[in-house]
Amino acid sequence: MILIPLLFLLLPATSPATQAGPAAKIHVCKFSPGEGGWKGSCGKLGGEYTTVTIKAAKAITTGRWRKDSEPTAVWAGNMTYSDDVVAIEIKIHTGGQGVLRSDDGWFPIPRSVISDKAMEFEIDFANEAPPSELDREITRRATTILSSEAVWNRADTRECSPADTKWSIYCAMEKATIEVTGGFHHRRPALQVVRKIVEERSANRPYKHRLMDYNNDPATRFADVLTLFTEALRRMQ
């Protein structure tokens, strides 16, 4: 199946708090203990009620979210459709706040309730998680990695290697993310801000992959790359 971003697909759950209709932002995901982990649902997605399975994760694979604190709990798992599976990761910090990460974006969890018998997460699928100080560090680091035209890779394939000596916009962001946070996820807020700027700059261009196609576009100059990062940092303030 072709996935449409979750924020457009998530319908109100059965909780009265989520019966306000399309304008409602917060949705409730409920889980019960299952074999080897937890099983539940966040409501109707993509025209069907998906099954969500998660279990406690030993480590964060997609990089730190915040600089000021470490998560108190991390779960990883899948959101399963009839013909597709989407990997997700959930991180909760002190106070019950956290973030859900998926290929559709990172979404804030403003509240969570966790016990041995049940778990409940309130997730804001209408708004992606805002950039953190780590996202600003990532973008600043990317400017030092992609510091001159001599190290700019104009033929991006979105396949990056630690042995690279030249970097595209995407690979500079990936390298910076790993160096700053210890992991990488292509929908991290820092990359989403950069994508948004590229989207605005290329409104009339038929890009399939925004960062790759903008990087490889003959009309893109290195000066445009520099201002891309500068503008991203300005928007993250």
Residues 149, 177, single domain; the answer is yes
Which has the closest alpha carbon to 121: 86, 97, 85, 104? Answer: 97
75 neighbors 54 (Cβ within 8 angstroms): yes
210 neighbors 198 (Cβ within 8 angstroms): yes
Q: Total structural domains in the chain?
A: 2
Q: Look at residue 18 and tell me whether its pLDDT is greater than 50.
A: no
Residues 6 or more apart whose CB falls under 8 angstroms from that of 45 comprise: 6, 9, 10, 11, 79, 81
User: Does a structural domain hold residue 46?
Assistant: yes
Task: Using a pLDDT cut of 90, give the percent of the chain over it.
Answer: 74
Query: pLDDT tens digits for 132-165?
Result: 999 999 999 999 999 999 999 999 999 999 999 9
The predicted pLDDT at position 101 comes to 96
Q: Look at residue 110 and tell me whether its pLDDT is greater than 50.
A: yes
Residues 110, 178, single domain; the answer is no
User: Does a structural domain hold residue 48?
Assistant: yes
Last residue of a domain, one of 100, 124, 148: 124
User: Does a structural domain hold residue 109?
Assistant: yes
Instruction: Measure the CA angle with vertex 146, ends 218 and 217; round to 5°.
Output: 10
Distance (Å, whole) CA 67 – CA 182: 12
Q: Look at residue 28 and tell me whether its pLDDT is greater than 50.
A: yes
Residues 161, 214, single domain; the answer is yes
pTM score, two decimals? 0.84
User: Does a structural domain hold residue 26?
Assistant: yes
Q: Look at residue 1 and tell me whether its pLDDT is greater than 60.
A: no
Residues 227, 143, single domain; the answer is yes
User: Does a structural domain hold residue 159?
Assistant: yes
Q: What is the mean pLDDT of residues 105-112?
A: 95
Distance (Å, whole) CA 200 – CA 204: 9
Q: Look at residue 130 and tell me whether its pLDDT is greater than 50.
A: yes
- Which amino acid is located at 51 in the chain? T
Q: Look at residue 13 and tell me whether its pLDDT is greater than 60.
A: no
Query: pLDDT tens digits for 202-225?
Result: 998 999 999 999 999 999 999 999
Tokens of 104: 């559709």
Band of residue 10 on the pLDDT scale cut at 50, 70, 90:
very low
Tokens of 24: 């409602």
Residues 111, 26, single domain; the answer is yes
Last residue of a domain, one of 106, 124, 142: 124
User: Does a structural domain hold residue 1?
Assistant: no
CA distances from 128 to 95, 110, 114, 205, 214 (A): 20, 12, 23, 25, 23
Q: In whole numbers, what is the pLDDT of the chain averaged over residues?
A: 88
Last residue of a domain, one of 91, 124, 157: 124
Q: Look at residue 83 and tell me whether its pLDDT is greater than 90.
A: no
Residues 161, 223, single domain; the answer is yes
Query: pLDDT tens digits for 44-63?
Result: 766 778 889 999 998 889 99
| Burial letters 19-28, b for 16+ CB under 10 A, else e | eeeeebebbb
Residues 119, 154, single domain; the answer is no
Residues 152, 70, single domain; the answer is no
Which is higher by pLDDT, 13 or 46? 46
The predicted pLDDT at position 25 comes to 64
Residues 142, 92, single domain; the answer is no
Residues 94, 141, single domain; the answer is no
Residues 23, 66, single domain; the answer is yes
191 is in which domain, residue-wise?
133-235
Residues 83, 170, single domain; the answer is no
